[in-house]
Amino acid sequence: MLVRDGTRVTSMLDDLRQLVEIESPSGDPTSLQSSGLAVADLLERRLGRSVHLVHTEVGPHVLWDGGGETRVLVLGHHDTVFPLGTLAARPFAVDDRIVTGPGVFDMLGGIVQGVEGLSRLPVLDHVKVLVTCDEETGSHHSRELIEELATGCRAVLVLEGAGVGGALKTSRKGCGTFGVHVTGRASHAGLEPEAGINALIEAAHQVHEIAALGRPDLGTTVIPTLARAGTLDNVVPAYAEIAVDVRVETNEEKARVEQSFAALAPRLPGAALTVSGGIGRPPMPRSTAIELIALARRLCPGVEDVHVGGGSDGNFTAALGVPTLDGLGAVGGGAHSDDEHLLIDFMVERADLVAGLVRTSTAD
């Protein structure tokens, strides 16, 4: 059902504009400090109570606490993938019931809608809201806090953008990045090529072996995505590195792939390999979302659910066995692209869905 509520929509669009116009690229602590303060202001202004900023070397996480033992954790992030200057080229805009601008879908719109929904509840005891600053770069500085807050909760509600057509996200692949670092030996490519150990050739051997680890039939993808090697065109390269994106649907595949990377061995005599990284986000199984998706369908009849390949902070909470429902944020699309957009006609509906899930999950 499409909902058009002019007053509520206008308020949410005003809040969204404020967040979008403070650029918040991941890994930029100065920008993230500004965006964190803006999110804190939004939470305090709309929900009352003071907000705690959890400072880290990469920026602040924003934590709002409704008091009492936590039964529901609402998760979001205020970092975006877009570099400084994107706003000048692609400013916040509203046209024909569509909102565009960097971060409107992933996931500033979700934050605004979630806060709007919570603001409609007369009581917010037993609710915490955590908006982190490093989700787009792997949540290395927030994972421990997320898991600590989620433990013992009845529900974790994740404000990431919805799936196609507004579908909620009930399962996700585990994901991570591996780095394979090759050490060879430099030599003059014309005078003494035989004296060198070509790290680029070794890396080429490894790329083929790594790509063969994929098991599409099991939902496992292992994709070499970046490679670097060499210094000059007349020098046998002494160093090369490969970045590999990995996605898995089961913990068994996670273990197999991690063991396979650990077992990689050089092909060229004298070459050496080191492997870094891993599958940092465990798979998010649908089993943890069954009760919550049933509740969501009672609150919003006809809503669908979907399995997706991308990861979120919901992967961490679901892996703990905590009931987790994702994709509760903006309905739209184009995440991480110039086509990122949010559909206005679903904003109130999604805000009310979050409110209903919170109200039911916190009830005695």
Query: Could you give the CA distance from residue 110 to residue 166 in angstroms, rounded to a whole number?
Result: 12
> Measuring CA to CA, how many Å separate 228 from each of 36, 100, 257, 278?
35, 35, 23, 19
Q: What is the CA radius of gyration of the chain?
A: 23
How far apart are the C-alpha atoms of 92 and 88, rounded to whole Å?
9
Q: How does pLDDT run across 68-127, given as a tens digit for each residue? A: 999 999 999 999 999 999 999 999 999 999 999 999 999 999 999 999 999 999 999 999
Element (H, E) at 248: strand 239-248
User: According to the model, what pLDDT value does residue 4 have?
Assistant: 53
Q: For 263-317, what is each residue's pLDDT tens digit?
A: 999 999 999 999 999 999 999 999 999 999 999 999 999 999 999 999 999 999 9
Q: How many CA atoms within 13 Å lie on the side-chain side of 186?
A: 11
Which tokens in the block code for residue 235?
Answer: 């020098």
**With bands split at pLDDT 50, 70 and 90, how would you rate the model's confidence at 5?**
confident
- Please state whether the predicted TM-score (pTM) of the whole model is above 0.85: yes
Confidence of residue 6 (pLDDT cuts 50, 70, 90): confident
**Residue holding tokens 């400084």?**
84
- Cα(80)–Cα(144) distance, integer angstroms: 21
CA end-to-end span of the chain: 29
- Asked if pLDDT for residue 326 goes beyond 60, the answer is yes
Q: Which residue has the tokens 């090369």?
A: 240
Token pair belonging to 68:
């009492």
Count other C-beta atoms under 10 Å from residue 45's C-beta. Answer: 11
CA distance 284 to 275: 25
Burial of 69 (0-12, 13-18, 19+ CB in 10 A): exposed
Q: If DSSP codes are grouped into helix, strand and coil, which group holds residue 342?
A: strand
Nearest to 173 by CA among 309, 324, 317, 320: 309
pLDDT band at 2 (very low <50, low <70, confident <90, very high): very low
Split at pLDDT 50, 70, 90, the class of 48 is very high
Q: What share of the chain in percent tops pLDDT 70?
A: 99
Q: Which residue has the tokens 């936590």?
A: 70
CA distance 45 to 191: 71
Give residue 23's identity as a one-letter amino acid code.
Answer: E
- With 60 as the cut, is the pLDDT of residue 3 above it? no
Query: What is the per-residue pLDDT across 125-155, written as a single tens digit (0 to 9) for each?
Result: 999 999 999 999 999 999 999 999 999 999 9
pLDDT digits (tens, 9 = 90+) for 205-225: 999 999 999 999 999 999 999
Question: How would DSSP label each residue in 276-302?
Answer: EEEEEEPPB-GGGGHHHHHHHHHHSTT
